Structure 1
Amino acid sequence: MSMEKYPRNPIEQRKAAVRKHTRNGVIWVGGGVVGGLALTLLSGGWIWIILGLVIAVAGGLSSYRKVNRIINHKDNY
């Protein structure tokens, strides 16, 4: 792994993109679950935990698809 902020090597670029999207996926899932639980405890309504889980699944699935697309990329030389 190079110390460059913006690597020119396409493999390094894909590795950086996978790391970025993986981090974003974890943040979406964690935020959705914790936010849903917090709102459920504060308001007492079960709808908030369901909404939090829907947000967590949607954000996680979006990041998963981006990572999967990067991993399955085929270079045409």
Structure 2
Amino acid sequence: MVSEIYLTRLLATKGTLQKFVDDLFETLFSTVCRGTALPLAIKYMFDFLDEQADRHGIYDMDVRHTWKSNW
């Protein structure tokens, strides 16, 4: 019985936060106001992933693409 109460609360919280999370990602990745350029924070993160791949000797472009797709 207790786990059902927590599950209900968890689902309610998820429903409340989902719109804010969706809006955040829309703001970060939307290029409507900026043309086609990504925000500098996103570019920095992708550059950081490339640097880490170089540092660890990962030169497979599929791996690098997967890192950038699944962050």
TM-score by length of 1: 0.35
Q: Which has the larger radius of gyration?
A: 2
Q: Which has the higher contact order (CA 8 A, sep 6+)?
A: 1
